[in-house]
Structure 1
Amino acid sequence: MAGVLDNVNQRTQLVGQNRLELLLFRLGTDQLYGINVFKVKEVLQCPALNEIPQRNPVVRGVAHIRGNTVSIMDMNLATGHGPLDNIQNCFVIITEYNRSTQGFLVRGVERIVNLNWEDIHPPPRGAGRENYLTAVTEVEGKLVEIIDVEKILAEVSPMSEEISEGVIEDGIAERVVQKHILIVDDSSIARKQIQRVVESMGIKTTLKKDGREATEYLEQMVAEGKDPYTELILVISDIEMPEMDGYTFTAGVRNNPALSGLHIILHTSLSGVFNEAMVKKVGADDFLAKFNPDELAKRVNDRVLEMTGESMLDNEE
């Protein structure tokens, strides 16, 4: 256990191409679960928790950790099972998602494994739409389930998807009536969040759940004689995805002469440990940390103006 704790901080600084490191943990049973080490700040024995009034039942309490007050969520309870008992003997995984720090209570922490994203697969079709899995893999013959943490966070503490007044220009969608935006994300919650923001601007969307699926979609578009630059405004892609991650997807697009000029924004919850040098290395046009509807809408707004000419506001002057 000490080895796991000692190495988490060091390993979170690593950024690879189409690879990831999973921290394996258990909840109420022997089933193994995994979380990307890039999201993990530290692992510690469950500290003393203070209850807060009118809290969501998933939040077992708050803890004071390194000068900060952190909400501690019971991951077993959050995924539709019973609450973990004897929490003083449990562990807390401190993570950073979507620009905030939170802790997840788990029964036990195992070890860190190094895998290729090609070995990470979407949940089986029979898992149903309401499952809390974003992917599955196998480690030494055992199934490992990767939990959709963004789904948990959206249920415990929903984020506003409203765009503030003045962020986008009136009539922006009229400039791109025949175009759409390709959204690539393995989390169903994240896809829907982005889709709702973009479509509230009056712009159409196409959704794909990983880099491989998005690559096949773009290649099929070219094979059918369609012009990607006529069809698409831009691509908004997550980084962490099964089959093919956002880095590899972006690099593949840049290496394809028929697609190389597409505008790509990497949109990720890896805000705390993200290495911006990777954006330049793989050739993405921009990076945006999840999830801020105003910032996302502003990026889309500016891209449309870049494609179609000067600001409408300038034309009125």
Structure 2
Amino acid sequence: MASILDSVNQRTQMVGQNRLELLLFRLTGKQRFGINVFKVREVLPCPKLTAMPNRNPLVRGIAHIRGQAISIIDLSMATGGPAITDIENRFVIISEYNRTVQGFLVGGVDRIMNINWEDVMPPPKGAGRDAYLTAVTEIENELVEIIDVERILADIVPINSDVSEEVANAEINVAKEDLTILITDDSSVARNQIKRALQSLGIHLEVRKNGKEALEYLKDKAKELGGSAHTHVPVIVSDVEMPVMDGYTLTAEVKADPDLRDIHVILHTSLSGVFNQAMVKKVGADDFIAKFHPDELATAVQKWLNTVVA
């Protein structure tokens, strides 16, 4: 187990090329689940938990770790399963999502696997809207489920997706009727949050679930226009973690295409604890915004439209 904990800490600085490192874990049964190593601060045996009055039932308690009080969420209960028992012998994955730090109580931690995003698929359609999955992949002939953590956190602490009146009323000095903002995110919760924040701009929104779908849309648009697509699709707001093609690869493909390279790419990701401006510039993106602050996102889009689009 010590080698797994060491590996998590060592690998959180990796910037992939359409690759993903998954920390595999189990909840209460044999099914294995995965979480992106980039989002993991550390893994440790479950510490002593302090119960808090009026807490959400999915939060098993508060742990004091390295001088910080961290909520510990039972990941089995959060996905509709039974409560994890014998927690003194279980593990906690400390992670950072959307500018917050929380711990996920899990039954056991397996190991880290390095895979290609092309081998990660959207969840089966039969899973239904209520399934807490964002993707699945196959490892050693076994289906590994990747949980939509953003949805779980939104269920526990709902996020306000509305922009302020000041931002909503800010002037955009371009003709809006011919413009489209492309949103790319595999999480249904994140897609809805982004749409709600950007609808106030009064510009048409196109939504895709992964980088491959987004790139196909852009290439079709460029072909339709017979040249550069940025005059009609000036901005892409893209997640980083997505099945089939991640946001980094999408960015590289866009910037390498003469008909697409002038499009402003904003990487909008819950990986707030790891990815900084230097990493974003390395892959050619124009901006980086950690999820989720609606005013910050809407303002970034407004600023670009007012300064660049003619």
TM-score normalised per structure 1: 0.94
Take 1:260 and 1:50, find their aligned partners in 2: how far apart are those partners? 52
Give 1:308 shift. 5.0
Take 1:173 and 1:127, find their aligned partners in 2: how far apart are those partners? 44
- Asked whether 1:119 is paired with 2:119, we answer yes
- Asked whether 1:299 is paired with 2:300, we answer yes
Asked if the contact 2:12/2:37 (under 8 Å) is kept, the reply is yes
Q: How does 1:153-302 map to 2 (within 5 A)?
A: 153-172=153-172, 175-225=175-225, 228-302=229-303
Q: Which one-letter code corresponds to 2:157 in the other structure?
A: S
Q: Secondary structure of the equivalent of 2:234?
A: strand
Take 1:55 and 1:295, find their aligned partners in 2: how far apart are those partners? 30
Q: Secondary structure of the equivalent of 1:176?
A: coil
Take 2:162 and 2:75, find their aligned partners in 1: how far apart are those partners? 28
Q: Which one-letter code corresponds to 1:230 in the other structure?
A: T
Take 2:305 and 2:21, find their aligned partners in 1: how far apart are those partners? 37
Greater displacement, 171-180 / 35-44: 171-180
Give 1:178 shift. 2.2
Take 2:230 and 2:15, find their aligned partners in 1: how far apart are those partners? 30
Structure 1 residues 174, 222: CA separation in 2 closer, same or farther (over 3 Å shift)? Answer: closer
Equivalent pairs, count: 309
Take 2:200 and 2:167, find their aligned partners in 1: how far apart are those partners? 12
Partner of 1:103: 103
CA RMSD of aligned residues (A): 1.5
Take 1:222 and 1:88, find their aligned partners in 2: how far apart are those partners? 57
Give 1:288 shift. 0.7
Partner of 2:33: 33
Take 1:39 and 1:140, find their aligned partners in 2: how far apart are those partners? 24
Residue ranges of structure 2 left out of the alignment (5+ in a row)? none
Take 2:234 and 2:277, find their aligned partners in 1: how far apart are those partners? 23
Take 2:274 and 2:231, find their aligned partners in 1: how far apart are those partners? 35
Asked if the contact 1:8/1:41 (under 8 Å) is kept, the reply is yes
Give 1:140 shift. 0.9
Greater displacement, 229-238 / 181-190: 229-238
Give 1:277 shift. 2.6
Q: Percent identity?
A: 59
TM-score normalised per structure 2: 0.96
Take 2:74 and 2:41, find their aligned partners in 1: how far apart are those partners? 17
Give 1:80 shift. 0.9
Asked if the contact 2:181/2:235 (under 8 Å) is kept, the reply is yes
Take 1:147 and 1:83, find their aligned partners in 2: how far apart are those partners? 17
Q: Which one-letter code corresponds to 2:214 in the other structure?
A: A
Take 2:299 and 2:51, find their aligned partners in 1: how far apart are those partners? 39
Q: Which one-letter code corresponds to 1:82 in the other structure?
A: P
Partner of 1:61: 61
Asked if the contact 2:12/2:274 (under 8 Å) is kept, the reply is yes
Partner of 2:88: 88
- Asked whether 1:148 is paired with 2:148, we answer yes
Greater displacement, 1-10 / 158-167: 158-167
Q: Which one-letter code corresponds to 1:36 in the other structure?
A: N
- Asked whether 1:52 is paired with 2:52, we answer yes
